[in-house]
Amino acid sequence: MKYNENKEYNPALRLLALPLVAMAWAGPIRTVRSPHLPPSSIAFGDCKLVIGVTPADNPVFKDFSKAAIDLASDTILIRAGLSPEMDNPVTVDVAVRTPAELLTFRALHFMERENGDLWLCAEKSRGPAMKLGSSGLELRMRQPFCDDERADGACRAAARIIRLSRGQI
């Protein structure tokens, strides 16, 4: 039997490294199937979180929030674009389950704090932010950082995304 090494890589799937590192995840993961998510989507067992990555922009997977209901998990859809961060910025769509309703946020951006915490924020400083950690998503209705820190963190995350997409990490 001959071993074939596939030297091609999918830059979109490389973006899964961002949440995996931020979560310091060592627990079980499994792939999930949903018509509302890309086939490479993975579920993190104990924290009820599903993450999918696609190079496709909206409206592809526009009903991703239905996966949150079907899978009974918060759902993150990373839209990597065909040229991450250079020509087509990476955006993140999130569906968060609450006891009362399903909250959907679109076109969020990664933000990495100096301490390594990974956040999902709106482009503007107003509005909610979500911290991605070992227990899944933590929703904050107000961003716990100032505009300058958010801008620095967005640049830090963008630099990491570029290195990931080039295979340098």
Locus of tokens 């993450």: 51
At residue 106, the pLDDT reads: 93
Grade residue 138 by pLDDT with cuts at 50, 70 and 90: very high
What pLDDT, on the 0 to 100 scale, is given for residue 158? 85
126 compared with 9, residue with greater pLDDT? 126
Higher pLDDT among residues 75 and 126, named by residue: 75
pLDDT, average across residues 9-22? 76
First and final CA of the chain: distance in angstroms?
31
What's the pLDDT tens digit per position in 23-80?
887 778 899 999 999 988 999 877 899 999 998 888 899 999 999 999 999 999 999 8
Higher pLDDT, 104 or 158: 104
Query: What span, in angstroms and rounded, lies between the C-alpha atoms of 21 and 36?
Result: 25
Report the range of poorest mean pLDDT among 18-27, 98-107, 144-153: 18-27
Rounded to whole angstroms, the Cα distance separating 77 from 61 reads 9
pLDDT single digits (tens) 145-165: 888 988 899 889 888 887 877
CB 18 within 8 A of CB 4: no
**Residue 49's pLDDT is what?**
94
With b meaning 16 or more CB within 10 Å and e meaning fewer, what string describes 124-136? ebeebbbbbbeeb
According to the model, what pLDDT value does residue 86 have? 60
Give this prediction's pTM: 0.87
